[in-house]
Every structure is written in structure tokens, then in C-alpha cells.
Amino acid sequence: MNPTDQNLASKRHTLAHLLAAAVIELHPEAQPTIGPAIDNGFYYDFEFPEDKRPTDSDLKDIEKRMRKLLPSWKEMAGKEVTEKEARDLFTGNPYKLELIDEILAKKEPITIYTAGHFTDLCRGGHMESPAKEIAADSFKLSRLAGAYWRGDEKNKQLTRIYGLAFNTAGELKAYEDMMKEAEKRDHRKIGKEMDIFEFDDDVGPGLPLWLPNGGAMIEEIEKLAKETEFQMNYVRVRSPHIAKDSLYLTSGHLPYYEDSMFPPMEYEGGKYYLKAMNCPHHHKIFASRPHSYRDLPLRLAEYGTNYRHEKSGELFGLMRVRMLSMNDAHIYCTEEQFSDEFKAVNDMYIRYFKIFGVEKYIMRFSTHDPKRLGEKYVNEPELWKKTEDMVRKVLVDSKIPFVEVPNEAAFYGPKIDVQVWSAIGREFTLATNQVDFSVPKRFGLVYTDKDGIDKTPLCIHRAPLGTHERFIGFLIEHYGGNFPLWLAPVQVKIIPVGDAHLETARKVHESLRGVFIRSELDDSNHGFGKKVRNAKSMRIPYFIIIGDKDMAAGKVTLESRDLATKTGQGQGQGQVGQLSVEEVLAKLAGEIKERKA
């Protein structure tokens, strides 16, 4: 994290404390729990008596009290205290006492921080002089939400108060403006309007149903991935949706990842788990045949459907789901091949960014914490250093923008999370790229080198397009539903002006479908104006109008959604012109083939 980011994180963390202080002054009966900094600001969780929980209308009063307290926060002083001092200070607060127990179990020092008249249990990371360093107009409270203590649905539900915070009032306003635009582009709202996906209570939360329009988008994205991977010498494989527990015990996922997997099914005296990741299956595919150094790199690709036991409170549209179809692949290579393979994966990301018009991106390079070897990470200190150095060198040599983040690696090796920004400037975690130096050894994967010696390959896990769910959610916001022609669920709407033009419209529709262009014919009884409005509401890229003049000329009128957007929304202002059916087919087929943005 660069110094500017760290400074903003410290500011946000300080404001979380200020929020707690304001709440306690206004609601002495509240029990404060934890309050971290987050990407756009901060939050703090409280337990309130059932009849005294705040409402949205209370946020202004709490925010006003924060601003009143801020000038008195001349400094934020921290000190280490004994267990007894800490327990005496937080007597009656079971949440703080639980945190104290955890700190003692980890044999870490207990520290408290005080500003004004408020003291909190905290590890630190604050502004030293809040009154001087925090502008009163650079933050605001944004919303209330429910949250379970420690994110566990079995625990008590708390009240979470969110706040926004930036370095200046101008940055805060810019963020709020962006979020207003994001609300218009909400993937849940547009997804429903455009019949892309649906959730159903009988199917279950977090399990999306892809409607025909969503299915068309998935087909196009898979087609792009398969073409790209074929050109880069990937081979496609398929694996089952369930497997025995022995597979995930061997991979290490059960010890490290079981909480994120669905509970096992008892069957024929064994335990079976829904597949939460594809890698163990691919390792078995690699192990099914002997390999020599001549076979490497071996790139196994699969759009595999996985299932993750996400908590109900964390589910969010397509962005956080329990079923996810991943653009996954595993590259088995020698150490000498690693740099070229890792660079090629990053180049693939750049290629996709250009196709989808992603202009701002950064690679988030996650490394391990040496203190947590054997607990959170496999206990291979030398291999951790070696592989992290290798990844870092590729990123530096490739001149790819990246930031390094400690203690967020996968349990088996360093990883890269790909952060992208949508057209309106909102950040998303889109995909991942991971190095695995541990699990191939656990599976006994080997290849024979040129000297006849068996060696363990390195494995690169990569998913440049992430999952269909998250990626399509991102694309809906990125394009605001105005997808480029090649990706649009319905590419062309054919609109006959009247019944006399219907038969000609049907023939044009058949011509388009004959070259695999997704067209729809509006043969409804609606008037011409309503037909046009309906087509526009579905954000269809092109309309074909057929009226008397078109039939007399033996042509059709082609109108463009994007041209109309540039010139105004009036009828006819998006006209490309009067063209023959052959000219329309050639124009549209060319745009689709080129995947024009």
C-alpha cells in the first residue's frame, strides 16, 4: 500500500472510532463491537436494545455529533495495558471481552487508544491529530445495515452504521455522484429489465437462473474464451460436480477451506462434497497419464461450475453467489517455463481489457505472512520466497501496474487479484491468477526431465474472465446494459410498420437467423411507436424498420442505438440508412466478427 492509501486508511479507521464515540454519547445503552476502515470509508457494529435501534433518520444526528466531537480530538494516544486493566475497562461488554480473550490466545499485546473522552480496544493505525488532519466536510454517514457478530448467522444480529470518507470534500462528492450513476446501472435492476437472470426462492438464495438473454451472453463469453485459449494451445477438459472427501483432503482444501464448502453428503459409506474448486480435479487429470518435459507446459482449461457456501448476509446479486461458473485453467510447467507462462497469462488479461473497453486496471499481488506458516499457509518458507520473487520479477519486467499486499495469498502460493474499474469509475475484483508450488507435490504430480529424473511441476491457476456471474454483473454496470453488438442478447429487432410489411419482415428475420445473428421480430398488435419504444427499452443495438418506401425500394431502414444516443433520441436520428438485406448482413456480421466495442 502506498503512503497516500495508508494515510486514507488511517483516517477512515479514526473516523470509525469517532462514530463509536458519537453513538455512545447519544445512545449510552449501545454496546460497541468492532469498527474497521473499508474501501470507501468505515463502519462500526453496535448492539442496541431491540426498542432503541437507530433508524436512517437518526444518522444525521449521529453525524452532527461526530462533527461536534472532532475539534476536541487533539490527539489519538495509544498504550499497552494489562489483562486486568483491559477487562476492568470493558466490563459488561461481552464483545470486547471476547476480543481480549483472542488477543491473549495469540500472545499479542493488548492496546487501547483514547481520543477526547472515548477509549477503545484497538491494534492501531490512526491519525495522530484527528482535529487537524480530518476535514469536517470530507466524511458523512451513509446507511444502516444488519450484521451478525463475526459474520456468523448463529450469533446475535448487530446494527452496522456505514460512513463514507475521502481526503477532501471534492473527492467525497465525486464518489457520491459515481454511486448515483452506479445505482442507475445496478446489475440487479438492469438484469431484471433485460431478462438476463432471475433468483427464485424454491431454487435457493445465491443460485441464479440464467434466462435466455443471459444464456446468450454466456455463450458469447465462453466462445471468446475458447477461441483465445485454443490459439494459445490450451486443451479443454471436463470434471464432475462432486467428489469424495479424500480428494479435498489430499489437496488441503478441507483443512484450510472447509467453511466455504457445502456440508458433505453421506453416500455408500463415504462423504462427497459439491465441487468448490476445479484444481484438484485437474491435478487428477494430469496424474492420469505419465508426462515428460516435452509435454510441458500443459494447459488444462474448463468452464467448471463450482459451489461455495457463502453466508446469506453476504450474498449480493451476481456479485456474491453460491453457484459460479469459472473461466478456469491450470498450467503445469517447469521452473524455467514459469516466467513466460505467467507473462502470457497477464497478456491475456490485457487482451480482454481491450475487447471490453476496460481502461483502468491494476494487479493486486498478494503475498504470505511468515508468522502464519502452518496455520494459514503451507509451511514451505523457501518456496514462498522463491515463487514470490519469481512473480514479482515478471510483474516488474512486464511493466504491469501492481500493488503488493501482505498476508492475502492463497494457502498454497502467492496470487494476483485483478482489480478493474468500470466505465463510471467503480472498482471491481474481476479475476485471479495464482501460483501453486505445494499442491502438485501433495498429489504426487511428476514429469520426467531430460536427464530421466522425476520432478514436480509448478502449477499456475488462472481465470482471466473470472466467473460468468461476477463478470456479467460487472459488464451490466460497465455498459449500463448497452452491450456491444457481438455480446448483446438480442442483436437486431425487426419492426414492420404495419401488417402489410409483416411477410417481408419475416423473410428478413429468417435471413438474419440464417447467419446466426440473434434477431427478434415484433409481430405484435402494438402501434409502430410503441414497438420502437419497447425495442429501445431493451437496449437493442440495431432496429430494422420496414415500411412502404423500404418495400418499394427492395431495401430496409437500419437504425443504430448507439448513433441515436450520440445524436439524440428522436425517431430516425439513429438512422444508418436504407440498405439492402445483403448489405445489412455484411455490416452486422463484420462488426460481430471483430467484436467491436
Long-range pairs for 210-213 at CB < 8 Å and ≥24 separation? 210/468, 212/489, 213/489, 213/490
Q: How far apart are CA 71 and CA 69, in angstroms?
A: 6
Type of residue at 570: G
User: What is the structure's pLDDT at 565?
Assistant: 56
User: What is the structure's pLDDT at 324?
Assistant: 93
> How far from 19 is each of 41, 67, 280, 315, CA to CA, in Å?
12, 10, 46, 26
Q: What is the 3-state secondary structure (H, E, C) of 506-566?
A: HHHHHHHHHCCCCEEECCCCCCHHHHHHHHHHCCCCEEEEECHHHHHHCCEEEEEHHHHHH
Q: How far apart are CA 100 and CA 475, in angstroms?
A: 44
pTM of the model: 0.83
Strand 556-560 to 298-307 pairing: unpaired
CB 487, CB 475: distance < 8 Å = yes
Q: How far apart are CA 478 and CA 509, in angstroms?
A: 30
Q: Is the dihedral of CA 115, 118, 121, 125 positive or negative?
A: negative
Whether the bond between 297 and the residue before it is cis, its omega within 30 degrees of 0, is yes
**Cα 557 from chain centroid?**
41
User: What is the structure's pLDDT at 566?
Assistant: 53
CB 86, CB 110: distance < 8 Å = yes
Which residues have C-beta within 8 Å of that of residue 207, sequence separation ≥ 6? 199, 321, 322, 323
φ/ψ region of 128 (left if φ > 0, alpha if ψ in -120 to 50, else beta) reads alpha
Half-sphere exposure of 479 (CA within 13 A, CB side): 23
Helix spans in 185-306 (H) = 187-193, 212-231, 245-251, 253-257, 279-287
Which residues have C-beta within 8 Å of that of residue 332, sequence separation ≥ 6? 286, 291, 296, 297, 298, 299, 300, 440, 445, 447, 457, 458, 459
User: What is the structure's pLDDT at 98?
Assistant: 95
Q: One digit per residue, pLDDT tens: the chain, 597 residues?
A: 444 478 999 999 999 999 999 999 999 999 999 999 998 999 999 999 988 899 999 999 999 999 999 999 999 999 999 999 999 999 999 999 999 999 999 899 999 999 999 999 999 889 999 999 999 999 999 999 999 998 888 899 999 999 999 999 999 999 999 999 999 999 999 999 999 999 999 999 999 999 999 999 999 999 999 999 999 999 999 999 999 999 999 998 888 788 889 999 999 989 999 999 999 999 999 999 999 999 999 999 999 899 999 988 789 999 999 999 999 999 999 999 999 999 999 999 999 999 999 999 999 998 888 878 777 777 788 888 888 898 899 899 888 899 988 887 877 788 888 999 999 988 898 888 888 888 899 999 999 999 999 999 999 999 999 999 999 999 999 999 999 999 999 999 999 999 999 999 999 999 999 999 999 999 999 999 999 998 888 999 999 999 999 999 999 999 999 876 554 444 445 788 999 999 999 999 999 999 987
Q: Is the dihedral of CA 39, 41, 44, 49 positive or negative?
A: negative
Which residues have C-beta within 8 Å of that of residue 195, sequence separation ≥ 6? 211, 212, 213, 214, 489
Radius of gyration, alpha carbons of the chain: 28
User: What is the structure's pLDDT at 572?
Assistant: 47
Q: How far apart are CA 224 and CA 61, in angstroms?
A: 52
User: What is the structure's pLDDT at 573?
Assistant: 54
User: What is the structure's pLDDT at 564?
Assistant: 60
- Among the listed residues 269, 188, 240, 272, the one whose alpha carbon sits nearest the alpha carbon of residue 474: 188
> How many CB atoms neighbour CB 47 within 10 A?
18
User: What is the structure's pLDDT at 2?
Assistant: 44
Domains of the chain: 3-184 (3.30.980.10), 189-479 (3.30.930.10), 492-594 (3.40.50.800)
User: What is the structure's pLDDT at 39?
Assistant: 86
CB 568, CB 562: distance < 8 Å = no
Which residues have C-beta within 8 Å of that of residue 549, sequence separation ≥ 6? 578
Q: How far apart are CA 563 and CA 578, in angstroms?
A: 15
Q: Residue 448 forms beta bridges with which residues?
A: 292, 454
